Amino acid sequence: MRAASLILVVLPVLQGSPARDDGQWTMPGKNYAATRYSGLAQITPRNAPRLRPVWSFSTGTLGGHEGQPLVVGGTMYVVTPFPDVLYAFDLTHEGYPLKWKYRPDVNPTALGIACCDAINRGAVYADGKIIYNLLDGHTVAVDAISGREVWKTQIGDMSQGETTPMAPFVAGNRVIVGPSGGEFGIWGWVKGLDLATGKTLWTAHNMGPDSAMLARPGHGRYSGEANIGVSSWEGDSWRRGGAPVWGWISYDPQLDVIYFGTGNPGPYNTEQRPGENKWTNSVLARRPGDGSLVWAYQFTPHDSWDFDSNAEMILVDMVVGGRMRKVLVHFDKNGFAYTLDRVTGELLVAEPFANVTWAKGINKRTGLPIVDTTKTTGASRGNVKDICPSLEGGKSPASPSAYSPRTGLFYTAVNNLCMNFEAAPVTRIPGTPYIGATTPYFVGPGGYGGEFIAWDAARGRKVWRIKEKFPVWSGSVVTAGDVVFFGTLDGWFKAADAKTGRELWKFKVGSGVVGAPISFRGPDGKQYIAVYAGIGGDWFLLSGDVRSDDPADVRPPADFAPDLARHTSQGGIVWIFGL
C-alpha cells in the first residue's frame, strides 16, 4: 500500500474520550485512548504569549520527575520519585495549600536495583482512590479524600531485578500493572488486580508456554503458533528474556481490550538468544477481565539494539486507505511510527519519524523490518558503528505523545542520537544487571540533539518540526485551543501552535523537563497548564555534574551533550501556568 494513496478523516469524538471536557485529569493519558488531548480552549495561539507562572512547589526530591500530576475536582495530586511521596494540594484556596501527604514505606534496596534512576511515572484515580506503584514492587491505593492507605499489594520481586515505576491503569474493576527489569533478565509479565481490594486476580507472562501467557492459539483473534513464546527462543532462555511492561496502557471499552508495549529481551548480546524472541518489543492486546491474549504484533524481532516498545499506544478512529478503521498509533524506539488496526493487529502504515540506519524500511505485507545486516550486533561481530537511533530510541518511551482531533495530527518528542554497539557474553545472576554491551552515543546528522514534531499517522509523514539543541525527553499535551506544550532537557517549557509549529511562548523552569504536562480547569473556571521540572532518568545516568550535593557526581559530561550541566541541575518542582 502506497503512503501517497492514504486518506485521513478523523472522527469528532475520540474512542474513550468525553464529548465535553470535564476539566479534570484523572488518568495518565487523560482518557482511555491515551490521547493527552484537553478539550479546554481558553489558551489560544493569540493569547499564549501572555502565559505566566501562577504557582510552584518544590517536591523535596532530586530524582527524575517523569509522569504527570492528576487533577480530580478541586485537588491536584503529585507523586515524587523515590521515596514515592504522594501530595494532595487544595486548588480551592489561595496558594494551593497542602491537604495531606502520604509517605509510603518503601524499601531503599530498590535504589540499587532500578535501571534508570529512581523515577515514578505517576498515578491513576478510580473509585475514590489514588492508585500508584512504589519502586520496590508494590502497588498502593490511597483514599483520595483522607490520604489513608486503603490497600497495598506486592506485585514485583526485587530479588529477580523487578522494580515498579510505571503508572498503573484502571479498566473496569481491574488495576493493570507491570514491572521494569529488562536489563536484569526478568520473566516479563502484566497483572490484573482487583480495584476494591488489591488482590491479584491474574498474571500473564509475555513469553513462555501458552498457559503462562494466557494465550489460546486459534481461539478469537490470536493466531500465534502454539507455544511460540517458547519455540522462538533457544532452550529456556525465555525464562530470563526480559519483556518488561514499564510504559503506558490504553483501553478500548467497546472492544474491551487493553493495549500495552513490552520491552527489550535480555541480554543485549543477541547470540545468547537465537530466534525472534516473542513477545519482546511488541504490542499485546489483552482482555482486562482475565488477561487473555487477543493479538500481538512484534515491532523489532530478535532485538539487536535495545529497542523497547513500551511507548504509548494511542487509539483513534480514522479513514485509512478509503476505509474507516479503529487504529492504534505508536512511535517506537526503533525510529518507525506505526499505524495498526487495533481490532486485528494488521499493519496499515509504518514510516520512519527519526533518523534510521538499522533497517531500510518495514515490509507492509509481512510486517517485518527490512534489516541492514551490517548493523546487526552480537559478541562475534565486534564494535558495530553508526547505528541510528541509539538505544535511547527515536523517541523515549517515557515521553508520551499527544493527539488532537482538531488537527488530526500527533505530537511527539524525538531524539536525534546514534550509537556504536559492542556486545559481550554475560551470565545472569538474579537481581544484578544482565546486559552485555557497551553503547556510546553521538549526535546524529544535522548536529542537533532532538526535535519536537507533528505527525500525520495516516500518511506516515512529518508535518512540522521544532529543532532542539539537546534530545527532547518530555511528554506533551495538546488542547482544543490548538496549542501544544512540551519541555526540553535544558529546562525550557514551551508552547507552540498545533497547526503550524510556530513557537508561541517559553519559560525557564529551573531543571530539565522529562515529565508530561497536563491541562485542567481550576475551581475559578480558568484553564491552567501544569508540568514537572526535574531532570533525571537515563540522562542523569549519562550526564555528569548535575547533582551538586553529591561529591561523587564529578563525572565528565556525556559526549552527545557536553554542556548540558551549564543549563540545568537536578531538582523537583511542580509548576502551574495560566493567563
DSSP secondary structure code for residue 24 in this structure: -
Catalytic residue from among 120, 264, 277, 416: 264
Residue range 422-469, pLDDT digits in tens: 999 999 999 898 999 999 999 999 999 999 999 999 999 999 999 999
Beta bridge partners of 170: 175
Is residue 264 among the annotated active site residues? Answer: yes
CA distance 272 to 446: 36
Catalytic residue from among 162, 183, 276, 312: 183
| pLDDT of 139 above 90 | yes
Is residue 422 among the annotated active site residues? Answer: no
Under 8 Å between Cβ of 149 and 569: no
Question: Largest alpha-carbon pair distance within the chain?
Answer: 64
Residues in the chain: 579
Residue range 232-249, pLDDT digits in tens: 999 999 999 999 999 999
- 3-class state of residue 270 by DSSP: helix
User: Model confidence at 276, in pLDDT bands (50, 70, 90)?
Assistant: very high
| C-alpha dihedral sign at 522, 44, 491, 245 | positive
| pLDDT of 303 above 60 | yes
Residue range 96-107, pLDDT digits in tens: 999 999 999 999
Burial class of residue 57, CB neighbours in 10 A (0-12, 13-18, 19+):
middle
CA distance 336 to 354: 7
Under 8 Å between Cβ of 514 and 539: yes
Grid coordinates standing for 172?
Answer: 473496569
Catalytic residue from among 84, 117, 306, 482: 306
Residue 60's contacts (CB-CB under 8 Å, 6 or more residues apart) are 80, 85, 572
∠ Cα 183 185 186 (to 5°): 110
**What's this model's pTM, rounded to 2 decimal places?**
0.94
Q: In degrees rounded to 5, what are phi and psi of residue 266?
A: -115, 145
Q: What is the DSSP string of 144-167?
A: TTT--EEEEEE---GGGT-B--SP
Determine the average pLDDT of the residues in 391-408: 96
Grid coordinates standing for 130?
Answer: 489514588
Under 8 Å between Cβ of 486 and 498: no
